[in-house]
Structure 1
Amino acid sequence: MKKWIWMMTVLTAIVVLAACGNQGKTEGTKEETVTVKDMLNKDGVKIKKNPKKVVVFDMGSLDTLDKLGVNVTALPKQVVPKYLSKYEDDKYENVGGLKEPNFEKIAEIKPDLIIIQSRQSDAFDEFSEIAPTILMDVDTANYMESFKKNATTLGEIFDKEDEVKKELAAIDQKVDALKKQAKELKQNGLVIMANDSKMTAFGAKSRYGLIHDVFGITPADQKLEPSDKHGQSISYEYMVKTNPDYLFVIDRGAAIGEETSAKQLVENDYVKSVKAVKNNHVVYLNSDMWYLSGGGLESLTAMIDEVKQGIDQK
């Protein structure tokens, strides 16, 4: 009898331990999430931490994820920045163009997360039906604040918080050094984009306004209003009248694989009297980074270095 009672006690203990073990296993494997709020997810959207299948439409985010060593599953391969050309490999799925996503292909992938930019914002509902979708645009009027928020959010999602903090601290140091250099330079600059036979200019708080707002270069035209992503159309007469000390040039054609036109458009007899042209202070910026993927950890670092090197040409 005693032996039977002893055996029942042992069996009961084993069952209880097994149940506790299973409960601990269930609790231990509970998925962690991060809640992300943006212009399209004002109430917040829950994202599973360390998502395995990630579709990226924002090249700045692709840049940051690449820098952090995070794998992505798919992207639009229509126009990929040259320095990110490894993502053109067949092991990465092609999900259409920046303006024409292939929703059927995206649905087949069954992603855990989709990252978009403003170009795709009109299709947010369609993306969200497939998987949690977040917007990673940089606010040009508050560039550094939104850039840091985006990088920090990606760090939280992919357990890379420490790496992001380190990268942001290094970028802050570079920005501070450039601002000091720009202040000591005591010269102004004008940012223009060459697009085929047309030129557009960008002032403070605009798409490329960080050259003034963040880097500290004085605008050559203080009255140039913030504009849309394409800038304000300008003429050679405007350039001569404005007469900037430095010209910072972005070649849209080079960025999207069309014929480059910037040098012929900017440096010619019409503007040879402009100080920037006359003194060899025309700085041709990396169009891949400025036009396609600005706002990434790698691209912003390179953008700072480019402007610094440009104004070193005293």
Structure 2
Amino acid sequence: MKSIHHLFTVLFVLFLTGCKDTPKDTPKDTTTAEPQETVTITHELGTVEVVKNPKQVVALDYASLENLKVLGIAVAGIPKSHVPDYLQDYKTNEAIVDLGTMFEVNYEQLSALEPDVIFISARMKSNYDELSKIAPTVYLQTDTSDNLASIEKNLLVFADIFDKKKEATSIITDLKTRVQTLHEQVTATDKKALMIMHNNGKFSAFGSDSRFGVLYKAFGFKEAVDHLDAARHGQAVSNEFIQDINPDYLFILDRSAVVSKQATNTATIENELIKQTQAYQNGKVVYLDPQAWYISGDGILSFKIKIKEVSDHL
């Protein structure tokens, strides 16, 4: 009898122990991650949803890089082939991935970055569809019919994405003030200007409807000659043409200095015919920074360089 009682006691203890050790069912976590806030950006090539304050940012053009810089936004990758001198800290920063050139992106490196957003301009326009497969891609280009308004519009795109509206507004206000001051100074001179590009011994001229029309429309110079071809690389002209037009100011962009990275000897450009112009005789032949005028386009920093260059030579 005692044995039976002892057996029941042991079984009862084991039962209690089993109940104690059996884990209770853990309630399943039915909560879901908060959806990320996005911004809808509409541009020339389409409409895209971009996550607010993206972390992995790629700039495949230098105007966008400039705008990100002035707003204090870090970048993960850029093309390092032709980085302007005033952006050299990005080229030497090993933490920033080199993504190729302004025309040919290294897709393997780009994909490895897993970017949240990619910014491009005209030189990468044909790559838009392919880039969009990797990450939301925003196309930003300057409207040369009104450079300043276009610059403002582009900067505000960055401001919307990165919550930098206050900073962007301050930057634009400052830029407009600089342009207004320069415009007043230029118009007071009542002088005519000619913008030319030099490339391997050849000249092309640009008027108010060209990619460099800002010299006339925003800065205030009169055109030394009307109705120039508005083609992207300008209207081919001769030394005789420049002599005949005889501008008060001759602004020269040496394309060779950035394309082949070898500046042309000024003696080659300033030949006997050029020396007969009012511009040359009055010391108003101005060599423009080709990195700011040709490589970058119209980022905030390059536009400030343009303003200062013209202002310094009035």
Question: TM-score category by the smaller chain?
Answer: 0.7 to 0.9
Measured on the aligned residues, the alpha-carbon RMSD in Å equals 1.8
Give yes or no for contact 1:250–1:262 (8 Å, CA) kept in 2.
no
Paired position in structure 1 for 2:124: 120
* Secondary structure in 1 matching 2:64: helix
Paired position in structure 2 for 1:5: none
Distance in 2, matches of 1:270 and 1:217, equals 23
Mapping of residues 270-289 of structure 1, within 5 Å: 270-289=273-292
Give yes or no for contact 1:34–1:48 (8 Å, CA) kept in 2.
yes
Distance in 1, matches of 2:174 and 2:153, equals 16
Distance in 2, matches of 1:70 and 1:258, equals 29
- Residue by residue, what CA displacement relative to the aligned partner does 1:248-300 show, whole Å, maximum 9, x if unpaired? 11121222352211623432212211010111101111111111113111211
Mapping of residues 246-265 of structure 1, within 5 Å: 246-261=249-264, 263-265=266-268
The size of the alignment, in residue pairs, is 286
Instruction: Identify if the C-alpha distance between structure 1 residues 81 and 188 changes in structure 2 by more than 3 Å, giving closer, same or farther.
Output: same
Distance in 1, matches of 2:44 and 2:136, equals 14
Opposite residue 288 of structure 1, the aligned amino acid is: Q
* Secondary structure in 2 matching 1:123: helix
- Residue by residue, what CA displacement relative to the aligned partner does 1:211-254 show, whole Å, maximum 9, x if unpaired? 001111111111213121x2111110010111000011112122
Paired position in structure 2 for 1:218: 222
Paired position in structure 2 for 1:84: 87
- 1:237 matched to 2:240? The reply is yes
Paired position in structure 1 for 2:186: 182
Mapping of residues 104-143 of structure 1, within 5 Å: 104-143=108-147
Give yes or no for contact 1:249–1:262 (8 Å, CA) kept in 2.
no
Give yes or no for contact 1:175–1:214 (8 Å, CA) kept in 2.
yes
Distance in 2, matches of 1:242 and 1:296, equals 32
Distance in 2, matches of 1:50 and 1:133, equals 15
Opposite residue 104 of structure 1, the aligned amino acid is: E
1:69 to 63, 68, 72: 72
Opposite residue 236 of structure 2, the aligned amino acid is: S
Deviating runs (4+, > 3 A) in structure 1? none
Paired position in structure 1 for 2:12: none
TM-score in terms of structure 1 length: 0.87
* Secondary structure in 2 matching 1:207: coil
Q: CA deviation at 1:195?
A: 1.4
Give yes or no for contact 1:35–1:46 (8 Å, CA) kept in 2.
yes
Identical-residue share of aligned pairs (%):
36
Opposite residue 208 of structure 2, the aligned amino acid is: A
1:227 to 231, 236, 240: 231
Instruction: Identify if the C-alpha distance between structure 1 residues 276 and 98 changes in structure 2 by more than 3 Å, giving closer, same or farther.
Output: same
- 1:34 matched to 2:33? The reply is no
* Secondary structure in 1 matching 2:102: coil
1:156 to 137, 157, 160: 160
1:294 to 288, 293, 297: 297
Instruction: Identify if the C-alpha distance between structure 1 residues 166 and 143 changes in structure 2 by more than 3 Å, giving closer, same or farther.
Output: same
1:95 to 95, 99, 123: 99
Instruction: Identify if the C-alpha distance between structure 1 residues 305 and 191 changes in structure 2 by more than 3 Å, giving closer, same or farther.
Output: same
Give yes or no for contact 2:61–2:79 (8 Å, CA) kept in 1.
no
* Secondary structure in 2 matching 1:62: helix
* Secondary structure in 1 matching 2:311: helix
Instruction: Identify if the C-alpha distance between structure 1 residues 164 and 31 changes in structure 2 by more than 3 Å, giving closer, same or farther.
Output: same
Paired position in structure 1 for 2:174: 170
Larger Rg: 2
- Residue by residue, what CA displacement relative to the aligned partner does 1:69-109 show, whole Å, maximum 9, x if unpaired? 11000011111111101111221101111111111211111
* Secondary structure in 1 matching 2:226: coil
Paired position in structure 2 for 1:304: 307
Give yes or no for contact 1:204–1:212 (8 Å, CA) kept in 2.
yes
Give yes or no for contact 1:50–1:157 (8 Å, CA) kept in 2.
yes
